[in-house]
Amino acid sequence: MAQSKLEWQSKLILLLVLPFAGADLVLEIHWWALQATPVAVWTVDLSVLLGLVTWKLHAAAPWGAFAGAAITACLMFSTVTFPYQPWHTALMPVLAVAVLAFVSTLLGRAKKERLGTAESRRGRSASQVAANLGVAAIASSAVVQSWSIDSRWFAQTTLSPALLFAMALAALAEAAADTASSEVGQVFGGLPRMITTLRQVKPGRNGAISLAGTLAGVIAAGLVAAAGTLALGGGRIMFAIGCAGGIFGLLFDSLLGATLEERGWLNNDAVNFLSTISAAGFAVGLLVLFPRFLGG
């Protein structure tokens, strides 16, 4: 009942993410179709293919798969380099997020169904996809990237496209870390503890953490950060920022779960959305506060 009363939060996230992603996608397709048609064709085709695969595997509901395909295309367009190769775009970290989420969700599904914490067999909804991937799409868009450069927040040494994408990469790393941590923790974590009180609680409780789940989340964040770094040639600095942001967001997610979600003030989509924002924000903080280190 409480979750149904908070359904407006999921709808708000959709209104924040999908119109932005849709408008950005239309503009990008039009521009690339005129300037470099193969970029537009490959990006759209691969994004649609990924959406169809996630739908057929029941990893996402139909509208969730559609939202995922649109956001994937936006992320790919924002990371195009020449000579153009699709695997040297944000497709790779998005694919890493999708694979990690799919595998960790299937892991120990029978036990999670007994606990009543298993994901729907229809797959993730559009609001869930938007909550997990939307911040990355917004952070990597041309509008936000241009604003980042013009804001003068960052030292000149940190203004490479790869490092600016670290904000979006941190959000993607958090999305994978949160899913892996929750799903693995429910199966192998035993009795978890609340992050705020360290008291033992039942698996699946909002804000509950376990050693196994946290370790799985850290590994997932590292894998997504590595996938993005290798795809875009960002180097060790980009990997460190993406991974650190993802881990910070993972812990922030648990804190929100133990407080605002547990009290019925936020639903799960809102917690996920705010956690990816915190991950991107942590990455921004590293870029702003440590310019000499990052430039070295």
Q: What is the pLDDT of residues 175-206, one digit of tens each?
A: 999 999 999 998 887 889 999 999 999 888 89
Question: Are the C-beta atoms of 192 and 205 separated by less than 8 Å?
Answer: yes
Residue 106 is encoded by which pair of tokens?
């299937």
Is the predicted pLDDT of residue 22 greater than 90, yes or no?
yes
pLDDT value at 1 more than 60: no
Amino acid at site 264: G
Confidence of residue 296 (pLDDT cuts 50, 70, 90): very low
Provide the pLDDT for residue 32: 96
Query: Torsion angle, CA of 241/243/249/250, rounded to 10 degrees?
Result: -170
Q: Once rounded to an integer, what is the mean pLDDT over residues 204-223?
A: 95
Q: Which of 52-66, 111-125, 270-284 has the weakest average pLDDT?
A: 111-125
Q: What is the pTM of this model?
A: 0.94
Categorize the per-residue pLDDT at 114 as very low, low, confident or very high, splitting at 50, 70 and 90: confident
Q: What H or E segment, with its residue span, contains residue 193?
A: strand 193-194
- What pLDDT band is residue 147 in, cutting at 50, 70 and 90? confident
**Residue 137 pLDDT > 90, yes or no?**
yes
